Chains A and B, each alone.
Chain A
Amino acid sequence: AQKITQTQPGMFVQEKEAVTLDCTYDTSDQSYGLFWYKQPSSGEMIFLIYQGSYDEQNATEGRYSLNFQKARKSANLVISASQLGDSAMYFCAMREAYGQNFVFGPGTRLSVLP
């Protein structure tokens, strides 16, 4: 079974608009962490944001925020005021306290249009 699902293979957004990238996860652990990474065309993996399962507040890092809905097992990434440099692949990942250590979703390719 897929641990991490990203249902949007590709997304387009107009520059300066906000965009939400979806991520749902599957775990029976009570303690886990959720991560988002960005992979631009140059290939490096860049850590963006982290949400712990016990965190009561949604995580925010600059223009990135994580819309964490624990009961729905979703951890959507919201990028505000999109910039051309945001065009990249975005991966959602989960770390479980027990079981499989670290698993990545298939990714969503975001294209920001001028």
Chain B
Amino acid sequence: DAGVIQSPRHEVTEMGQEVTLRCKPISGHNSLFWYRQTMMRGLELLIYFNNNVPIDDSGMPEDRFSAKMPNASFSTLKIQPSEPRDSAVYFCASSIGRAGEQYFGPGTRLTVT
């Protein structure tokens, strides 16, 4: 069975550029989560969706970050404009229901120079 799919796996971009990260959750999972992991701050929840609806985006650092989930099988996390402090590994995870265990994608390693 396919797990959570994320693309790209690695992204290197220059400061000021737009970055779009993509996620395909596990089929049948109705909750989707975006996380950011850095050495300094650990693993932080950015936003989560339930049935394609954003439920809690309080972890989104600022207006430069936006996330969408147009359908049950696809979500994007966009950073515009990107800054060097956005460099991190971004994980997408999905679960059956908000309370279920989350299954993580392989992550996207973002480097902003």
B18 at the interface (CB under 8 A from A): no
Whether B102 contacts A47 by the Cβ 8 Å rule is: yes
Specify which chain A residues have a CB less than 8 angstroms from the CB of B33 in the assembled complex.
102
In the complex the two chains form, is A101's CB within 8 Å of B56's CB?
A: yes
B interface residues, how many (CB within 8 angstroms)? 19
- Chain A interface: which size bin? 10 to 19
Contact: A104 with B42, CB < 8 Å? yes
Instruction: Identify which of residues 63-110 in chain B touch chain A, using a CB-to-CB cut-off of 8 Å.
Output: 89, 91, 93, 98-99, 101-104, 106-107, 109
Report yes or no: B89 in contact with A43, Cβ–Cβ below 8 A. Answer: yes
Within 8 A of B (CB), among A67-99: 91, 95, 97
Our count of residue pairs bridging A and B at CB distance below 8 angstroms stands at: 40
Q: With A and B bound together, what is the CA distance between A69 and B102 in angstroms?
A: 23
Q: State which of A45, A101, A103, A107 has its C-beta within 8 Å of the C-beta of B104.
A: A45
Residues of A within 8 A of B (CB): 33, 35, 37, 43-47, 50, 91, 95, 97, 101-107
- Chain B residues engaging chain A, CB cutoff 8 angstroms: 33, 42-43, 45, 48, 55-56, 89, 91, 93, 98-99, 101-104, 106-107, 109
Beyond the given A44-B104, A45-B91, please list 20 additional residue pairs across the A-B interface where CB-CB is below 8 A.
A35-B101, A35-B102, A43-B89, A43-B109, A44-B106, A45-B93, A45-B107, A46-B104, A47-B102, A47-B104, A50-B101, A91-B43, A95-B98, A95-B99, A101-B45, A101-B98, A102-B33, A103-B45, A105-B42, A106-B42
